[in-house]
């Protein structure tokens, strides 16, 4: 039952798990360096709770000892549930409670311990770290070409320490100028290419906000650079700059030296604000959502309660922004520049969702892995900070469910286009679960530079190694690989839904959707079997007619009995 | 010139239904198509017949689209029975008026807007048309869409003409139907046998409708009740409606529906007699529980109000403006709440029959509305037979048509029963859709079928939806036959086709849209071979950390404290905040435990099906409510893209099977001549056929979330923005109310 390098740290009998659905359950609690395991043998079959410690956001001791001499602990989890345990007060007051042990291993970073991903040594047939090769991906997109080149200027992460080493920039901007542009963009995150349309050559480029400041500073280099991005697309003489933020927030950023492109400075550019709120608003929205869905749903006001969390409204704004980007590129054949403040949260959501709509490759299992590796991991979405792996500081203002929102958006699109994705819902849930579990190295650290420095590919296993070792589990059998199928989802509350398969999955009153996929697989199996039989018969008939002409008069063999099943 | 016109008209106007006559017509009419401009509008002739509003044009629709064709209707036609409101507008004068029957119109309309029962909003402009003819057509539409008498409903002309045309007894609509209509004792007998209800019998005391006009001629009653007893009891029941047997559980428990007992003095005694008779019919002599539907469920006015609101939200309110408050508006309509209430109540009855092995009586004042919904849903959940297409149709026939659901009044076909109008049947279809949505492989039919069935309510030729009860059909038939000198012979009623005769409306190819390629029913393609059978659900439950939980519930003893009357529980489990400071006891009713226990096991689609009742698991039936809304239509997307793929695969499997059959049938000697590899005669059940071995390189254009319907030209709500009418509509709280609008126009 233990994983390689997993070891039991403590075990306690007579612990009570207070289940919000079925009440108190008494059993044995085990804590390892990876997980919490609770088993109640009074039930048939045994009740089991098995969760990676990585999902634990905080552990708190509740009140003092109760009249029954019990102490109780609450575990707030990152995956939309709270667990509550109680156990007898230790007679030996020197002995540590199992929950103190749990706290130690749930927050290894705060306790000077390694994250379990660095110990886990499972060997998989495929090295998941090889899934993404930036050069190969750009080559797939046809880059380098006459307008775009791959620059090595950031090879040692000197221009921008949160960017990847491979960057795609306009051909006619030399590296020296790139450095000057970097000086004008927050954190040095210059506009670089994310995706290029195979026909129109319209591009999706991403960056951070310009350092305009209160005085409306300008940068000739930055202006020239955006002009070069526009010029690289012969189809359009316009450039759209999508600023993910609400305009008020963008303006407020001027006080901190940031801001947005003025249309005076950037000729032929049109600036559009997408009204997506910041990480703090999103965190608060998810907190409210959790209150509404866990543990129980209030029956009488479900929809208005859901509305009051604004979760779907945020999802809608993100999808609407991505749709506008995709539409400009596909229908308008116009290049777009996307940024927010730093260009690693909302920008990552927007570019990756737009690319998912535009390019069917990203809707395959491997293509989606590439998309995440590229737009999220290599471009420095700060997973370590946003998730807070192994860190006990649960009130850290840097935590935010930005990536969860992105996956939710993917699920929403897949709901509208059930045959357009090679992967299924379980794939998305698995990615989220292992983002928290700390079993794989994939979502560790904040940037490519840190990952290289920590030698993650050497010291940890990639989530893709695990997923690609059992693709069957994650495949949507309804997938049809139509070429040039650009998805334009309807971004309306009429179609957006709460992802019950994720947010409400802990509720035992919910049955996972009877999968359409299951029936499809059954039909596939049946087709294969029937095809085999038909072929057998055809062979049989051919043989027989051959033999009957050769040896006329010999007793006719009857064909193989076939079961009929009508 | 003139003769040319007549010729052309003749060519254009071929009323497709027998008995149809043209009442009025106007040429040079523009049908609005586009949302914001006149671009793409169609020019043609607007005709009012005694059956429908017809628009005849040579112009093709601008966009490629798909709309399933109805044999009784042209592409642009609206049956008069489907017209809910006729609004005339003169935008120059800033006037509008809702037209009613026999009204005057003091202005020449420049525009006609038809608000339809199936949620379409169709708009015509008369800018180039003769003002007087336009006005006449509008008045005719208003007049003919509000018939004064049931016999003026088109179905009578339709069927009457068929009798004339068919000489003696050629009319046999529905004769080829392979399903019971429950108008004969033998069909009830078969149902008794099918369900193993040995202690129940067919009773014919109502033959000729002599004891109760709203009951069917044949009803099923406990064996222990003699006709004499029943005759003695019947006067104490509302409208003489004695208890009706609906269905028997294999464990012997019966589902019975009953009207209230009108005489309070007799109530106790009668209740006892009925209950003891039902108990005697139970092999284990189990108890009988009574479920008072009037007390526990919304009434017909509540349901109508919810329906009007949900329609308002879905199709009338401006799309963008209603986005922000969409969820709370949906909640305030209460439609989904009511859908859930009916599903939940039905599931609780299922628990009593299946889990507690007791018989259940559904009691309702008149036993003609709420009981229809609940008894049908209970049977759908418990009996897989009713999830097949013919099973479902026989269920509607049994629990709705024969049980005397007042379709004529609930549909408000005569437009004079506003207070009685209520979408009980639509509510039922929505409930069925919710179960289909949760268990997509359990039903033989699709959501398209349910939608088309609902639309058929507004084509007034089917016996199914024209009458309040079977007796009314007989009576009206006799009157009509007498007045039109139609020879009835031995027949008791005109043979209106039941809606179940789908060939009246659709080609066999289009009927394939009803078939669910995923269905795993008895009649469906089901492999009995080891290799496929071993194909089990290996998929991990997402909530794997919770595995093992539900069976733990079994230790808890079933208690017998459920009250005799089921009461609606708003919240069964106290709400627990993610707050650790208090320990709370989890209180769970036996019903809840029963449901949860069932949910924990893999669903057997050929067994009992209980819908998930968390409010988060009920969804808006988008195909039904949003199919005409252009902004809500997902191009090249929607559930149909999965249906497309599944149908093709199912079709391939069918083809292979038929190929195998041919091989098997082929004798060795004849092999060279017969050609088993040739495609078999095309009787595929699937709409989308397996194509060549190569997948098409691009997705078919016509697939959208509205498929097989199309919003193009069916929802001209947007274009009226900015006109005086739109100003008015924005302020209107509900579907245009006749009085207010009429008052507006002077």
User: Average pLDDT over chain B, rounded to whole?
Assistant: 83
* pLDDT tens-place string over residues A287-319: 999 999 999 999 889 999 999 999 999 999 999
pLDDT score, position A74: 94
Q: Cβ distance B580 to A60 under 8 Å? A: yes
Distance CA A387, CA A407 (A): 14
Which residues on B lie below 8 Å from A515 (Cβ)? Answer: 539
Distance CA B149, CA B416 (A): 10
In chain B, what percentage of residues exceed pLDDT 70? 79
Query: Residue B487 phi/psi, 5° resolution?
Result: -70, 120
Query: How many CA within 13 A on the CB side of residue A524?
Result: 11
Per residue, what are the HEC states of A406-470?
HHHHHHHHHHHCCCCCCECHHHHHHHHHHHHHCCCCCCCCCCHHHHHHCCHHHHCCCHHHHHHCC
Distance CA A270, CA B213 (A): 73
Contact B326 A494 (CB under 8 A): yes
The answer to whether residue A556 scores a pLDDT higher than 70 is no
pLDDT score, position B292: 96
* pLDDT tens-place string over residues B227-264: 999 999 999 999 999 999 999 999 999 999 999 998 88
A345 is in an annotated binding site: yes
Which residues on B lie below 8 Å from A523 (Cβ)? Answer: 517, 646, 649-650, 653
* pLDDT tens-place string over residues B185-213: 999 999 999 999 999 999 999 999 999 99
Q: Please give the C-alpha separations between residue A280 and each of A70, A399, A444, A487, B371, in angstroms, as whole numbers.
A: 37, 8, 21, 30, 51
Q: Which residues of B645-655 are buried (b: 16+ CB within 10 A; e: fewer)?
A: bbbbbbbbbbb
Q: Cβ distance B449 to B513 under 8 Å? A: yes
pLDDT score, position B708: 94
Nearest CB among B531, B585, B656 relative to A527 is that of B656
A468 is in an annotated binding site: no
Return the ∠ at Cα B560 (arms to B554 and B565), rounded to 5°: 125
Q: Cβ distance A268 to A230 under 8 Å? A: yes
Distance CA B19, CA A538 (A): 55
Distance CA A487, CA A420 (A): 8
Distance CA B164, CA B168 (A): 8
Q: Which residues pair with B294 in a beta bridge?
A: none
Measured distance between the N- and C-terminal CA atoms of chain B, rounded to whole angstroms: 41
Contact B327 A312 (CB under 8 A): yes
pLDDT score, position B678: 45
Distance CA A365, CA A422 (A): 6
Which residues on A lie below 8 Å from B619 (Cβ)? Answer: 497
How many Cβ atoms from other residues are within 10 Å of residue A549's Cβ?
Answer: 9
Q: Please give the C-alpha separations between residue B485 and each of B155, B164, B479, B480, in angstroms, as whole numbers.
A: 17, 10, 10, 8
Stretch A80-107: mean pLDDT: 86
Which residues on B lie below 8 Å from A538 (Cβ)? Answer: 676-677
pLDDT score, position B578: 40
Pairing of strands B359-364, B121-125: unpaired
Q: Please give the C-alpha separations between residue B384 and each of A436, B292, B401, B524, in angstroms, as whole numbers.
A: 43, 26, 21, 13
| List of residues 6+ apart from A174 with CB closer than 8 A | none
pLDDT score, position B743: 40
Nearest CB among A62, A296, A509 relative to B575 is that of A296
Distance CA A430, CA A443 (A): 13
Nearest CB among B319, B573, B580 relative to A74 is that of B580
More confident residue, A89 or A324: A324
Rg (CA), chain A: 28
Q: Is A40 a catalytic residue?
A: no
The answer to whether residue B334 scores a pLDDT higher than 60 is yes
* pLDDT tens-place string over residues A444-489: 999 999 999 999 999 999 999 999 999 999 999 899 998 889 999 9
Which residues on B lie below 8 Å from A548 (Cβ)? Answer: 668
Contact A484 B619 (CB under 8 A): no
Stretch A338-346: mean pLDDT: 97
A315 is in an annotated binding site: no
User: Average pLDDT over chain A, rounded to whole?
Assistant: 92
Query: Residue A302 phi/psi, 5° resolution?
Result: -55, -55
Contact A495 B323 (CB under 8 A): no
Contact B614 A420 (CB under 8 A): no
Element containing residue A516 per DSSP (H, E): helix A516-550
Distance CA B550, CA A21 (A): 10
E strand residue ranges, B260-344: 288-292
* Interface confidence: ipTM more than 0.85: yes
CA dihedral A295, A299, A301, A307 (to 10 degrees): 50
* pLDDT tens-place string over residues B551-591: 322 222 223 333 333 333 333 333 334 444 444 556 678 99
> What is the crossing angle of helices A175-184 and A220-231, to 10°?
120
A278 is in an annotated binding site: yes
- Given A340, A409, A438, A445, the catalytic residue: A340
A254 is in an annotated binding site: yes
* pLDDT tens-place string over residues B392-438: 999 999 999 999 999 999 999 998 878 999 999 999 999 999 999 99
What are the structure tokens assigned to B188, written together? 């009830």
Which residues on A lie below 8 Å from B520 (Cβ)? Answer: 519, 522
Optimal mutation site among A55, A67, A73, A299, interface B, most CBs of chain B within 10 A:
A299
B40 Cα to chain A: minimum distance (Å): 21
Q: What is the DSSP string of B584-641?
A: ------HHHHHHHHHHHSPP-TTS-------GGG----HHHHHTT-GGG--BT-STHH
Stretch B544-556: mean pLDDT: 30
Element containing residue A322 per DSSP (H, E): helix A311-330
A242 Cα to chain B: minimum distance (Å): 22
Contact B676 A42 (CB under 8 A): no
Which residues on B lie below 8 Å from A418 (Cβ)? Answer: 639, 641-642
A507 is in an annotated binding site: no
Contact A523 B532 (CB under 8 A): no
The answer to whether residue B657 scores a pLDDT higher than 70 is yes
Contact A488 B549 (CB under 8 A): no
Stretch A369-376: mean pLDDT: 98
CB pairs A-B closer than 8 Å: 307
Q: What is the DSSP string of A59-96?
A: EEEESS--TTSEEEEEEEETTS-EEEEEEEPPSSTTSP
How many Cβ atoms from other residues are within 10 Å of residue B100's Cβ?
Answer: 15
What are the structure tokens assigned to A405, written together? 């929102």
> What is the crossing angle of helices A425-437 and A402-416, to 10°?
170
How many Cβ atoms from other residues are within 10 Å of residue A230's Cβ?
Answer: 22
Optimal mutation site among A19, A21, A506, interface B, most CBs of chain B within 10 A:
A21
| Alpha helix stretches (DSSP H) within B351-420 | 370-382, 389-396, 407-411
Stretch B5-32: mean pLDDT: 71
A365 is in an annotated binding site: no
Contact B578 A291 (CB under 8 A): yes
Distance CA B513, CA B444 (A): 11
What are the structure tokens assigned to A217, written together? 């500073």
* pLDDT tens-place string over residues B687-718: 998 875 555 678 888 899 999 999 988 988 64
Optimal mutation site among B637, B643, B691, interface A, most CBs of chain A within 10 A:
B637
Q: Cβ distance A483 to B698 under 8 Å? A: yes
The answer to whether residue B36 scores a pLDDT higher than 90 is no
Optimal mutation site among A79, A302, A394, interface B, most CBs of chain B within 10 A:
A302
Give the 3-state secondary structure percentages of chain B, helix then strand then coil, rounded to 5.
40, 10, 45
A54 is in an annotated binding site: no
Contact A20 B586 (CB under 8 A): yes
Contact B663 A519 (CB under 8 A): no
Q: Please give the C-alpha separations between residue A515 and each of A319, A389, B543, B545, B639, in angstroms, as whole numbers.
A: 26, 33, 15, 20, 13
More confident residue, B734 or B99: B99
Instruction: Kindly state the DSSP code that residue B670 receives in the 8-state scheme.
Output: G
Residue B505, SS3 per DSSP: coil
pLDDT score, position A77: 97
pLDDT score, position B745: 38
pLDDT score, position A512: 66
More confident residue, B739 or B446: B446
B673 Cα to chain A: minimum distance (Å): 11
> What is the crossing angle of helices B424-438 and B370-382, to 10°?
20
């Amino acid at each position: 039952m233990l994983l390689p390098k997993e070891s039991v740290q403590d075990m306690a009998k007579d612990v009570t798990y207070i289940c919000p659905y079925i009440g108190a359950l008494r059993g044995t609690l085990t804590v390892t360096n990876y997980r919490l395991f609770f088993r109640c043998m009074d039930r048939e079959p045994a009740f089991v709770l098995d969760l990676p410690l990585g999902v634990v956001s905080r552990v708190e001791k509740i009140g003092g000892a109760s009249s029954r001499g019990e102490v109780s602990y609450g575990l707030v989890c990152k995956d939309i549930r709270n667990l509550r345990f109680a156990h007898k007060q230790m007679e030996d007051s020197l002995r540590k409670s199992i929950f103190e042990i749990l706290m130690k291993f749930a927050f290894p970073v705060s306790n000077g311990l390694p994250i379990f991903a660095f110990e886990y040594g499972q060997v998989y047939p495929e090295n998941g770290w090889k899934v993404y090769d930036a050069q190969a991906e750009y080559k797939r997109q046809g880059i380098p070409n006459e307008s775009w080149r791959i620059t090595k200027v950031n090879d040692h992460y000197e221009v921008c320490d949160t960017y990847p080493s491979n960057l795609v920039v306009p051909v006619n901007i030399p590296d020296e100028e790139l450095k000057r542009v970097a000086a004008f963009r927050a954190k040095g995150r210059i506009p670089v290419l994310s995706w290029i349309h195979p026909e129109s050559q319209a591009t999706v480029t991403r960056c951070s906000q310009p350092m305009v400041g209160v005085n409306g500073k300008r940068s000739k280099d930055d202006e020239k650079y955006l002009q070069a991005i526009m010029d690289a697309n012969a189809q359009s003489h316009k450039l759209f700059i999508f600023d993910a933020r609400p305009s008020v927030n963008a303006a407020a950023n001027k006080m901190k030296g940031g801001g947005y492109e003025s249309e005076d400075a950037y000729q032929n550019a049109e600036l559009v604000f997408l009204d997506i709120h910041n990480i703090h608003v999103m965190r608060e929205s998810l907190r409210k959502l959790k209150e509404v869905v866990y543990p129980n749903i209030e029956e009488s006001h479900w929809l208005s309660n859901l509305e009051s969390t604004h979760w779907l409204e945020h999802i809608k704004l993100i999808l609407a922004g991505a749709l506008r980007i995709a539409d400009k590129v596909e229908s308008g054949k116009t290049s777009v520049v996307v940024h927010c403040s730093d260009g690693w949260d909302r920008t990552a959501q927007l570019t990756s969702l737009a690319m998912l709509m535009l390019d069917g490759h990203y809707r395959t299992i491997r293509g989606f892995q590439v998309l995440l590796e590229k737009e999220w991991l290599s471009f420095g979405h700060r997973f370590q900070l946003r998730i807070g792996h192994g860190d006990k500081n649960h009130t850290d203002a840097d935590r935010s469910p930005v990536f969860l929102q992105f996956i939710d958006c993917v699920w929403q699109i897949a709901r509208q286009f059930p045959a357009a994705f090679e992967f299924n819902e379980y794939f998305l849930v698995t990615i989220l679960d292992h983002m928290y579990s700390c079993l794989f190295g994939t979502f560790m650290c904040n940037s490519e530079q840190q990952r290289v420095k920590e030698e993650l590919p050497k010291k940890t296993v990639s989530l893709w190694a695990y997923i690609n070792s059992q693709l069957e589990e994650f495949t949507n059998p309804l997938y049809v690989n139509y070429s040039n199928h650009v998805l334009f989802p309807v971004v309306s509350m009429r179609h957006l839904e709460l992802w019950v398969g994720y947010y409400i999955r802990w509720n035992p009153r919910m049955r996972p959707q009877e999968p359409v996929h299951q029936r499809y697989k059954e039909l596939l199996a049946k087709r294969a079997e029937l095809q085999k039989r038909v072929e057998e018969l055809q062979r049989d008939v051919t043989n027989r007619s051959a033999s009957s002409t050769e040896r006329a008069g010999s007793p006719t063999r009857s064909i193989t009995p076939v079961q009929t099943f009508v | 010139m003139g003769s040319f016109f007549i010729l052309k008209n003749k060519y254009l106007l071929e009323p497709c239904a027998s008995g149809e006559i043209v009442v009025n017509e106007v040429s040079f009419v523009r049908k609005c198509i586009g949302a914001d401009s006149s671009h793409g509008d169609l020019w043609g002739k607007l005709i009012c017949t005694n059956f429908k509003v017809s628009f005849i044009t040579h112009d093709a629709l601008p966009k490629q689209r798909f709309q399933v064709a109805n044999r009784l209707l042209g592409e642009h036609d609206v049956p008069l029975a489907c017209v809910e409101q006729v609004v005339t507008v003169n935008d120059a004068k800033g006037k509008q008026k809702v037209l009613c029957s026999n009204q005057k119109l003091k202005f020449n309309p420049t525009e006609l807007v038809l608000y339809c029962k199936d949620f379409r909003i169709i708009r015509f402009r008369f800018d180039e048309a003769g003002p007087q003819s336009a006005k006449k057509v509008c008045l005719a539409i208003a007049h003919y869409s509000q018939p004064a008498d049931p016999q003026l409903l088109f179905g009578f002309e339709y069927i009457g003409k068929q009798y004339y045309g068919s000489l003696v007894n050629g009319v046999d609509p529905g004769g080829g139907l392979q399903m019971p209509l429950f108008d004969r004792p033998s069909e009830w007998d078969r149902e008794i046998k099918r369900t193993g209800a040995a202690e129940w019998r067919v009773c014919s005391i109502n033959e000729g409708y002599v004891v109760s006009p709203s009951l069917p001629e044949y009803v099923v009653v406990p064996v222990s009740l003699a006709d004499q007893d029943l005759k003695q009891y019947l006067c104490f029941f509302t409208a003489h409606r004695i208890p009706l047997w609906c269905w028997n559980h294999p464990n012997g428990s019966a589902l019975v529906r009953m009207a209230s007992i009108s005489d309070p003095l007799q109530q106790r005694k009668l209740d006892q007699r009925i209950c003891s008779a039902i108990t005697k019919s139970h092999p284990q002599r189990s108890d009988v529980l009574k479920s008072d539907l009037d007390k526990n469920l919304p009434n017909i006015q509540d349901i109508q109000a919810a329906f009007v609101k949900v329609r308002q939200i879905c199709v009338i309110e401006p799309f963008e403006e209603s986005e922000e408050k969409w969820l709370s508006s949906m909640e305030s309509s209460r439609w989904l709440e009511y859908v859930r209430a009916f599903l939940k109540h039905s599931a609780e009855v299922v628990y009593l029959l299946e889990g507690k092995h007791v018989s259940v009586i559904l009691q309702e004042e008149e036993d003609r509305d709420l009981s229809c919904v609940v008894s049908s849903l209970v049977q759908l959940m418990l009996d897989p037979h009713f999830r097949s297409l013919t099973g479902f149709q026989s269920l509607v026939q049994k629990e709705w048509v024969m049980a005397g659901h007042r379709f004529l009044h609930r549909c408000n076909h005569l437009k004079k029963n506003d207070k009685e109008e209520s979408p009980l049947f639509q509510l039922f279809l929505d409930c069925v859709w919710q179960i289909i949505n949760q268990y997509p492989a359990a039903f033989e039919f699709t959501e398209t079928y349910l939608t088309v069935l609902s639309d058929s309510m507004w084509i007034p030729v089917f016996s199914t939806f024209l009458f309040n009860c079977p007796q009314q059909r007989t009576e009206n038939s006799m009157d009509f036959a007498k007045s039109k000198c139609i020879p009835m012979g031995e027949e008791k009623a005109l043979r209106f086709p039941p809606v179940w005769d789908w060939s009246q409306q659709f080609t066999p190819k289009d009927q394939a849209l009803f078939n669910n390629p995923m269905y795993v029913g008895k009649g469906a393609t089901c492999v009995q071979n080891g290799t496929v059978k071993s194909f089990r659900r290996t998929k991990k439950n997402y909530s794997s950390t919770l595995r093992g939980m539900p069976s733990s519930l079994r230790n808890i003893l079933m208690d017998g404290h459920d009250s005799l009357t089921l009461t609606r529980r708003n919240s069964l489990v106290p709400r627990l905040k993610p707050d650790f400071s208090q320990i709370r006891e989890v209180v769970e009713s036996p019903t809840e435990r029963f449901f949860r226990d069932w949910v924990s096991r893999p669903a057997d689609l050929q067994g009992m099906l209980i819908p998930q009742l968390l409010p988060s698991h009920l969804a808006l039936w988008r195909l039904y409510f949003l199919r005409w809304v252009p902004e809500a239509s997902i191009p090249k997307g929607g559930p149909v893209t999965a249906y497309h793929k599944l149908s093709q695969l199912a079709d391939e499997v069918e083809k292979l099977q038929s190929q195998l059959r041919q091989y098997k049938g082929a004798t060795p000697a004849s092999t060279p001549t017969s050609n088993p590899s040739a495609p078999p005669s095309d009787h595929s059940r699937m709409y989308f056929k397996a194509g060549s071995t190569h997948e098409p390189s691009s997705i078919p254009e016509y697939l959208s979330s509205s498929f097989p319907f199309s919003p193009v030209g069916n929802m001209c709500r947007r274009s009226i923005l900015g006109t005086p009418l739109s100003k008015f509509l924005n302020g209107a709280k509900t579907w245009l109310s006749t009085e207010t609008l009429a008052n507006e126009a002077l």
